[in-house]
Structure 1
Amino acid sequence: MKLILTSEVSGLGAPGDVVTVKDGYGRNYLLPRGYAIKWTRGGEKQIATIKKARSTREIRDLGTAQEVAAQLKSLRVTLKTRAGEAGRLFGSITTGDVAEAVKAAGGPDLDRRRIEITNTIKSTGSHRVSVRLHPEVSAALDIEVVAA
């Protein structure tokens, strides 16, 4: 199945890329979630607008991405949330929560879609998330989850 990506999918591509995937993956995952649209000749025209929108959101160059990565590395991010007695959270921490906490801690304004939480955060304590700043630059960010 040939698709045009409308948002970044880890391991597959960036918005505006034309990819070929297995039918089930495209039909059951990418299309329903809005990560891709079916490839057509008319859809080729949409690629230019998707790539233009991506370039305005994307960090401009490698140097800037490395500066932001250094800034994130030195940043201490504390996220306050509701938790039970044993430190177990009511719900879990989302990428949107992390983006807001980084901004509140004085860090750069991050796009929540660029933040990757590998293990679901459902307890208090120190956790590590990664942020894809540029195709060549990824930064690790330590966050401290505390009970409010």
Structure 2
Amino acid sequence: MKVILKEDIKSLGKKGEIVEVSDGYARNFILKKNKGVEANSSNLNDLKLKKANDDKIAQEQYEAAKELGKQIEAGQIQVSIKMGEGGKAFGSVSSKEIAEEVKKQLDLTIDKKKVQLKEAIKVPGTHVVPIKLHPKVTADLKVLVTEEA
């Protein structure tokens, strides 16, 4: 019997796949526990429409991420940190502060988890910080760190 899986089943297949299983396994496990549906023409058509819709949504998210990436790369933010004797920094600039400043200065919303900062910025100057907006889109943000007066 052919079934369409509604969720991942270990050693059988992933969600959305069409698999061939024995009739007993299908009736007593997959269909009974609602882990899949029988692969009839109606269900196959529903699966095809769902995949087309998922592809469309994924493409829209990719396009939106590319557009946001262009806006981020065109802009620059300025952050100031307190400096002590001999150019020693008190504190640092973290990904949370960068996300907040992007919201304030560029009026763009990004999640602090998307800011790919290897370690906090502790020295003044211009730094390039990568921001991962999508698995295929990474934008480089220019962060100008200045000394607070």
Q: Specify if TM > 0.5.
A: yes
Once residues 63 and 69 of structure 2 are traced to their aligned partners in structure 1, the CA distance between those partners, rounded to angstroms, is 10
**Quick check: 2:83–2:147 contact (8 Å CA) kept in 1?**
yes
Deviations 1:73-92 (A, max 9, x none): 11020012212244432122
**Quick check: 2:95–2:120 contact (8 Å CA) kept in 1?**
no
Give the greater-gyration-radius structure (CA): 2
In proportion to residue count, which structure has more helix? 2
The residue aligned with 1:73 is: 73
The residue aligned with 1:110 is: 110
**Quick check: 1:130–1:138 contact (8 Å CA) kept in 2?**
yes
Once residues 89 and 136 of structure 2 are traced to their aligned partners in structure 1, the CA distance between those partners, rounded to angstroms, is 34
Q: TM-score, normalization: structure 1?
A: 0.56
Q: Which amino acid aligns with 1:108?
A: L
| Total equivalences in the alignment | 90
Q: TM-score, normalization: structure 2?
A: 0.55
After TM superposition, list the pairs within 5 Å mapping 1:9-88 onto structure 2: 61-88=61-88
SS of residue in 2 equivalent to 1:108: coil
After TM superposition, list the pairs within 5 Å mapping 1:92-131 onto structure 2: 92-131=92-131
Runs of 4+ in 1 over 2 A off after TM superposition: 84-88
Cα RMSD (Å): 1.8
SS of residue in 2 equivalent to 1:126: strand
Matched, 1:138 2:133: no
1:105 Cα deviation after fit = 1.0
The residue aligned with 1:27 is: none
1:137 Cα deviation after fit = 0.5
Query: Structure 1: which 5+ runs fail to align?
Result: 1-59
Q: Which amino acid aligns with 1:99?
A: A
1:119 Cα deviation after fit = 4.3
Once residues 94 and 117 of structure 2 are traced to their aligned partners in structure 1, the CA distance between those partners, rounded to angstroms, is 8
Once residues 64 and 120 of structure 1 are traced to their aligned partners in structure 2, the CA distance between those partners, rounded to angstroms, is 28
Deviations 1:35-74 (A, max 9, x none): xxxxxxxxxxxxxxxxxxxxxxxxx611100000000011
